[in-house]
Chains A and B, each alone.
Chain A
Amino acid sequence: MHRIHQGVLRGVALALALAAPVVLGQGSTVDEIAKYRAALQDGNPAELWEARGEDLWKQKRGPKNVSLERCDLGLGPGVVKGAYAQLPKYFADADRVMDLETRIVWCMVTLQGYTEADAKKGPFGNPDRKSDMEAYVAYVTSQSRGTRMNVALDHPKEQEAYRLGEKMFYFRGGTHDFACATCHGEDAKRIRLQDLPNLTKTDGAQKAYTTWPAYRVSQGELRTFQWRLNDCFRQQRFPELLFASDGSIALTMFLARNANGAAFDAPAIKR
């Protein structure tokens, strides 16, 4: 295991070295960035989070000293494979639509005996404090790699979450009048040189949603979809999106459902 990780890190270092001299010239800049992104795919440190997440998942933890192995992610207790590709979904035991992170919190509370506040603490890691949630998510999502997105809108609460998520996507507010749709409502747009997926179209939503979570090279952390939404709203000049809030789940439902049919392909690696 140790040797694999070293290889991964060497691969990333090499990719960064190769991509370092980005020549500025409009066409070639974009080309060089594309090459840099392709080079990054060779070694993905997300594997470190996946391995740590699997270890943690199977460890006896919490006040009740049990593992998360009996956690029901929607396909029955203990089934991790393919579960993420069907989330968010309605869970009868909680009488609520849940995304992966919310469901993990639920399992930490009901199986392991954590308080909800403790289970939700520090969902986004930094160099000083690694996040267990990011590790859990890396492991669980890796078990859906290659599985086609298949998010259902059968239960009335699933349908409602989708409708509310769609409204939230177009909600304009803050000092800058921004909505999600401001940046993600048209084809082939970019901010500076960063390409923006059109999340209102199937192919745009599929490409974006199936490549989160991702290892962010610029941050040295694996970031979950909850983090992605949280950081979008920061840039929108909104207040802070609450982790595992109903709003975050509704928006995730809207985007995940729009990605149906595409093969899930994460944890990925991004700049």
Chain B
Amino acid sequence: MQRRPSTIILLAAVLAGPAILLGCATAPSDAETTAKATAVLKASFREQGQAKLDRLVQDDTQKACSESAGKAPPNDVAERIEKANFASIKWPADGKYLGDWKNGEKIAQEGRGMQYSDDPKGPVGANCYACHQLTREELSYGTIGPPLYQFGKSRGYTDDVRKYAYGKLYNAEAYSACTNMPRFGHMGILTEQQIKDVVALLMDPQSPVNK
């Protein structure tokens, strides 16, 4: 008589393990909290200028990367994200990756674009210097991303590296799931020509990046 109830309690404890370990059996699940947080967030914004409320509608990549909460996502999730994003890259029809590095430098310096306080007519930049060191001359650079000084010189001025640079700028999630880097082509931030110009900044032997 004494044993059976305790066996049942033990079984219940095993089944409900995670909740009991947290010391609060009534705590909402992580999925419930995520759903509620998303709903509260959506109700806490209003559209302003060019920033409409659809910017709060997450795609699969944004959703999965939010769930990994600053940590690397599980391998299968990372693979799924990278595969889907790679498949969506639109490569240049003319097969050329290199534009004008001088224009690329301007795009790398330009911080405006897509904020509700920005003119919807532009300009729109990539603001590369916000996160990366690129040239020796520009000392005002950020450190969220790796330094890219001598990008082409150190990797070699090959077509493979040019293609990689184009793809990475077009959709960084194709190469590194849940990276901090925006998807400049995929999200329509930069045009194909602008991406080529930034590729030139990284890959043209005459660019200050490679001096």
Contacts and interface: CB of A to CB of B under 8 A. Distances in A.
Interface string B151-190: 0000000000000000000000100000010110001110
Interface string A158-188: 0010011001101111111111011101101
Interface in B137-159: 139-144
Contact of A177 (B65, B69, B140): B65
Interface string A181-199: 1110110111111101000
Contacts of A175: 55, 114, 182, 187-189
A172 B62 contact: yes
B115 A247 contact: no
B55 A174 contact: yes
Contacts of B37: 163-164, 167-168, 171, 250
Contacts of A26: 139
Interface residues of A, number: 47
A29 interface: yes
A25 to B, nearest CB: 7
B187 A176 contact: yes
Given A189-B142, A245-B44, A247-B45, A238 B66 contact: no
A246 interface: yes
Contacts of A176: 114, 182, 187, 189
A190 B46 contact: no
The contact size tier of chain B is: 35 or more
B130 A172 contact: no
A237 to B, nearest CB: 5
B146 to A, nearest CB: 12
Interface string B48-75: 1001110111100110011001100000
Contact of B45 (A190, A200, A238): A238
A176 B33 CA distance: 24
A121 interface: no
A241 interface: yes
Contacts of B144: 182-183, 186, 189-191, 196
A235 B115 contact: yes
A182 B115 CA distance: 16
B40 to A, nearest CB: 5
B36 to A, nearest CB: 6
B93 interface: no
B76 interface: no
* Most-contacted residue by chain A among B41, B173, B187 (CB, 10 A): B41
11 contacts: A164-B40, A171-B41, A172-B65, A182-B180, A189-B144, A190-B142, A190-B143, A234-B117, A239-B45, A240-B45, A245-B44
Interface of A: 24-26, 29, 160, 163-164, 167-168, 170-179, 181-183, 185-186, 188-194, 196, 200, 233-235, 237-242, 245-248, 250
